[in-house]
């Protein structure tokens, strides 16, 4: 077994603004991390084989990629699908892990990672939301969420409402539950998402996307109530456990 740390590729690009937070969260979980611009990856013609050989994890961070023109995450998804030609299901099948946070999650949805009948649109309130929420894992499929209970995490989005094709809603939700795709739910209803969905994973459990930002709560002092429990000032934030789960899985896959 190699003594080198498993490597993470954090993709940045026009409008993406959470790449440094995301990279730091992975580093705290003991990964080796590289941040690369999407355009550089395209110019390099980085293939799926290259991705699989060089990186244990692909991370698509939050932000407003390409200004959310053509709806949120759409341009980023098109560039990954048609310019890089990455098949993320095949990447996961080779042992890779994929994380999409907020805008990165929106891109994964646009790429069809969670089924053709799943989409995402503007919050039910019709405005941007910046607040803290409680989310709870559902099922046991998702590698990233194994062993975790309810988490406090921040959300900051205007287009976070997960919707299901109306004509196939019941059938699609049943299938998603059966396959373990519906893996993370809000305790409340911050944006009007179907079934209070906050995150989804693919049937392998290795491709995970969520609207809340786990990378923004890797230190307890990031929580708005941290001063009420100042003795925990040096403690990790609850979001770090998601990245630590990925590290444990990446080490097993080596």
Q: Which of 183, 213, 244, 249 is catalytic?
A: 213
249 catalytic residue (yes or no): no
Of the candidates 215, 223, 244, 249, the residue annotated as catalytic is: 215
CB 114 within 8 A of CB 181: yes
Buried b (16+ CB within 10 A) or exposed e, 48-77: beebbeebbbbbbbbbbbbebeeebbbbbb
Copy the structure tokens of residue 106: 């929106």
Catalytic (active site) residue 102: yes
Helices (H) and strands (E) in the chain, counts: 8, 11
Closest by alpha carbon to 11, among 59, 65, 77? Answer: 59
CA dihedral 238, 143, 5, 251 (to 10 degrees): 130
Of the residues 102, 142, 183, 201, only one is catalytic, namely 102
Report the catalytic residues. 102, 213, 215
């Amino acid at each position: 077994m190699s003594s080198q740390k498993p490597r993470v590729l954090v993709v940045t690009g026009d409008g993406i603004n959470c790449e440094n937070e995301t990279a730091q969260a992975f580093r705290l979980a003991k990964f080796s991390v590289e941040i690369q611009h999407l355009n550089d990856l395209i110019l390099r013609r980085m293939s799926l084989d290259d991705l699989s050989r060089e990186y244990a994890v692909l991370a698509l961070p939050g932000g407003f990629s390409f200004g959310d023109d053509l709806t949120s995450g759409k341009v980023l998804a098109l560039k990954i699908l048609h310019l890089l030609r990455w098949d993320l299901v095949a990447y996961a099948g080779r042992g890779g892990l994929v994380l999409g946070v907020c805008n990165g999650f929106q891109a994964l949805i646009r790429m069809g990672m969670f089924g053709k009948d799943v989409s995402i649109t503007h919050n039910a309130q019709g405005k941007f939301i910046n607040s803290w929420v409680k989310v709870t894992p559902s099922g046991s499929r998702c590698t990233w969420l194994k062993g975790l209970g309810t988490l406090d995490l921040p959300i900051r989005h205007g287009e976070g409402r997960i919707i299901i094709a109306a004509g196939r809603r019941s059938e699609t939700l049943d299938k998603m539950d059966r396959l373990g795709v519906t893996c993370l739910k809000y305790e409340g209803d911050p944006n009007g998402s179907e079934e209070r969905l906050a995150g989804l994973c693919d049937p392998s459990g290795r491709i995970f996307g969520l609207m809340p930002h786990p990378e923004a709560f890797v230190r307890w002092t990031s929580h708005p109530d941290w001063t009420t429990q100042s003795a925990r000032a040096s403690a990790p934030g609850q979001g770090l456990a998601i990245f630590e789960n990925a590290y444990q899985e990446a080490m097993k896959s080596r």
